Structure 1
Amino acid sequence: MNDRQSIIITGSDLAQEACDLLQGYQLIYAGRQPDEAHLIALCQQHNPLAIIVRYGKITARIMDAAPALRVIAKHGSGIDVIDQHAAAQRDIQVLAAVGANAAAVAEHTWALILACAKSVVTLDGRMRAGYWDKAQHKSIELEGRTLGLIGLGAIGSRVAKAGAAFGMQVIAYDPWAKQLPEGCEAVELEALLRRADVVSLHCPLTEQNRAMINSATLAQFKPGAMLINTARGGLIEEEALANALQDGTLRCAALDSFAQEPLTAPHRWQQLDNVILSPHIGGVSDTSYVKMGCGAARNVLSVLQPGRIAATLP
């Protein structure tokens, strides 16, 4: 096999089912958290036809190091880590495995909502320290309260349905949503922030919505609200959120993604006891790992071997 038949994976592994789909290509693994210099070197060495993006960013310089590159496939749905303008200029297709991790992210969103509302982490810590807080603790009951969703794609729609099942009033802001889940009310962003007891982010990161949660929008939140982010860290101005958590504007927050990843330590988040943190793993489950890998592999084949795609569909 020659280097023009190579595919680079920006990670250390890929689901076996996805590898089987890509049989016949040389798969080159870049390792965990590959930086630009390492990816450029790999591209210069192997001149791949495709890149499957698990970790890191794909820049114009990386693309220029791979003249044969025809497709960049995201192992998931967030293509903001790929320079899409540069790819378009070079006639390189950028494709996402849309919906492959929707169930996993929606479930993690609800794990974080419930952890916040029921003080799961705090109570566990208190119990381990020898305290029994039954007499003074009161958790937040979600039934009858308002869930505000920013973004109603495959993930947001699943979160909405679960919110309705909990007996919550569900409102959503998404100017591009073609239809709303049953029982979900469409509202403008300002109205959502004023009304929601729980605000959950489910939109892709763009230059238009970068830092949409900032000091000005946080001031519009309902007092004591909770903020959940299982989307992209760049949606939030982190210093402003930290201040809102510290001064009590928000009851708590739960974050699964950050402006800078991996999170550096020490970090201000570690000093706040009303924020729950997870390392951007909302979309990673036993099932979604396979779905994302296979989705990315099929997207690669749709460009490199379009006639072969039909045979790979379930």
Structure 2
Amino acid sequence: MQFNIVADENMPNVEPWFSPYAQSIRRVAGRTLTANALKDADVLLVRSITQVNKNLLSGTPVKFVGSATIGTDHIDQSFLKHQSIPFYHAPGCNAQSVVDWLLSVLCRLRLDHELNWSQKVVGVVGIGHVGSKVANRFKQFGTKVLVCDPVKNANGELPEHIDLESLLVQSDIVCVHAPHTRSGDYLTHQMLNADRLSLMPKNSWLINAGRGPVIEESALLEARVKNGLNIVLDVWPNEPSVSVPLLDAVHLASPHVAGYSLEGKFKGTEMLARAFAKEFGLTAIKSVPLPNGVTVDARLFEKSDVEQWASEIVLALYDPARDTAVMRFSAGNNQLDARTFDALRKEYPTRREIASTTIAHAPEVLKKRLKMFGFTHFK
């Protein structure tokens, strides 16, 4: 059985995973994909920037949709179900990548703002694949962690849950990993509005690597001025456009790439390929191996303070200050436009996860600290 496959141009390894079953594989720009491009397509593989709905799929022969993402807010699953089109996504594929991104952010804040983050109270909003890993990683450092996920709590899965207002009041650092929803009992659209942001302690930190529209932009800028709120954003309220006032207001910025590790991308494509093979009863697909990770010599980053030393090593793998500088340099007078935003994501440098890295010549006291970050290979 052979299939005509249309895939987002930014998905890695589509060819090695899918070519044994492909009559053709055509790459497209996910943001501007139209129904006309799918007139001969059997399989559609997308990322979060493509809205998959009736407008896109009506009149096309598409019989399988896969999204190499954790979230599904860009997919009209009701329509797909009504049309009997199988849908699969990749929950958890890049969760570790987001955790590593967050750790790099915190290391940069430690060095630039003397933020002793592991000794603060951290609130995590959204305890799904990403949020649960974030909360567990903080606990490795002995950090006090508060969690909020009303959906899980309602299902009896999160007895330690506290309401959002209480979490905001008590937290020095709030990490947002909630999905974007516009309906239901627990809608998240602009849930962080002026009233709620005003509850946060003066000079506290808000870090969002979930979905941009869960925060109201005007309220965020107001809280920055009135309450000294410190902001770090990977996702943006009006993404893919980013206003210059908001870009100027944040301490660190990145173009929705927290989950963009090589490992996360590989895993997302693999999960879709295996689901595709199972759906159509195809023979097992051979694995596509990851490239070897890098080795970092700890002596090159030596500092007398072990926490600073560890922070320098983490930042050697990925430094969010680079993304911040690139975004600001790329912005026009009024905004970073959608085309530029997408280009930054498309041309994003390869980033490896912490666990893939080998650390050489680290003394025991440094190894102990690095293991808290997730490093596992030493020599």
Residues 9-39 of structure 1 show CA distances to partners (whole Å, capped at 9, x for unaligned) of: 12255325x63345221211113x431xx42
2:144 corresponds in structure 1 to 169
**Per chain length, whose mean CA-contact separation is higher, i.e. which structure has more relative contact order (CA < 8 Å, sep 6+)?**
1
**1:102-121 alignment, distance < 5 Å:** 102-116=95-109, 118=110, 120=112
- Secondary structure of 2:210 counterpart: coil
CA offsets 1:150-197 (integer angstroms, 9 cap, x no match): 1112211211122122231011011343656xxx94212121111111
Q: What amino acid is aligned across from residue 11 of structure 1 in structure 2?
A: E
Preserved CA contact (<8 Å) 2:169 2:200: yes
The whole-number CA distance in structure 1 between the counterparts of 2:111 and 2:213 is 26
Question: Does residue 20 of the first structure (1) align with residue 17 of the second (2)?
Answer: yes
1:246 to 216, 222, 225: 225
Q: CA deviation at 1:249?
A: 4.1
Question: Aligned partners of 1:267 and 1:88: how far apart in 2?
Answer: 40
Say whether residues 1:91 and 2:67 are aligned partners.
Answer: no
* 1:284 shift after superposition: 0.8
Confirm or deny that 1:196 pairs with 2:191.
no
2:257 is equivalent to residue 281 of structure 1: yes
Shift of residue 310, structure 1, vs aligned partner: 8.4
Percent of aligned positions with the same letter in both sequences? 24
Q: Residue 261 and residue 11 in structure 1: after superposition, are their counterparts in 2 closer, same or farther (change >3 A)?
A: farther
Tell me what 1:6 maps to.
4
**In 1, Cα distance between equivalents of 2:157 and 2:134:** 15
Matched, 1:57 2:51: yes
**Superimposed CA distance per residue, residues 237-282 of structure 1 (whole angstroms, 9 cap, x where no aligned partner):** 11211221133341x1111112333334x5222332x431101111
Are 2:37 and 1:42 aligned? yes
Alpha-carbon deviation of 1:200? Answer: 0.7
Match of 2:272 in 1: 296
State the AA in 1 paired with 2:9. G
Letter in 1 for 2:244: H
- Greater Cα shift, 96-105 or 83-92: 83-92
2:239 aligns with 261
Output the amino acid matched with 1:256.
D
Counterparts of 1:313 and 1:174, CA distance in 2: 36
Over 3 Å counting, the alpha-carbon distance change for 1:164 and 1:63 in structure 2 is: same
Select the residue among 203, 212, 225 that pairs with 1:224. Answer: 203
Equivalent AA in structure 2 for residue 268 of structure 1 = P
Residue 230 of structure 1 deviates from its aligned partner by 0.8
Q: Structure 1's 267 and 87: CA in aligned 2 closer, same or farther, altered over 3 A?
A: farther
SS at match of 2:36: helix
Paired with 2:190 and 2:178, the residues of 1 have a C-alpha distance of: 12
1:270 & 1:285 partners in 2: Cα distance? 23
Match of 1:159 among 91, 109, 134: 134
User: What CA RMSD, in Å, does the superposition of the two structures yield over aligned residues?
Assistant: 2.6
Gaps of 5+ in 1: 121-137
Measured after TM superposition, the shift of residue 210 of structure 1 is 0.9
Give the direction of change, closer, same or farther, for the CA distance of 1:195–1:88 in structure 2 (3 Å limit).
Answer: same
C-alpha displacement at 1:295, in angstroms?
Answer: 1.2
Aligned to 1:129: none
SS at match of 2:223: helix
Q: Is the 8 A contact 2:17 2:270 kept in 1?
A: no
Distance 1:97 1:308 in 2: 20
Count matched residues.
Answer: 280
What is the SS of the residue equivalent to 2:257? coil
**Does the 8 A contact of 2:191 with 2:214 survive in 1?**
yes
* Amino acid corresponding to residue 260 of structure 2 in structure 1: V
- Letter paired with 1:29: R
Instruction: Give distance in 2, aligned partners of 1:75 and 1:143.
Output: 32
- Pair 221,14 (structure 1): closer, same or farther in 2 beyond 3 Å: same
In 1: Cα distance, 2:177 partner to 2:284 partner: 30
* Residues 1:271 and 2:248 aligned together: yes
In structure 1, C-alpha distance between the alignment counterparts of 2:197 and 2:284, rounded to whole Å: 46
CA distance in 1: counterparts of 2:210 and 2:281, whole angstroms? 31
Measured against aligned partners, the alpha-carbon deviations of 1:56-111 in whole angstroms (never above 9, x if no partner) come to 32231111041x22222111211111222322332223321111111101111222
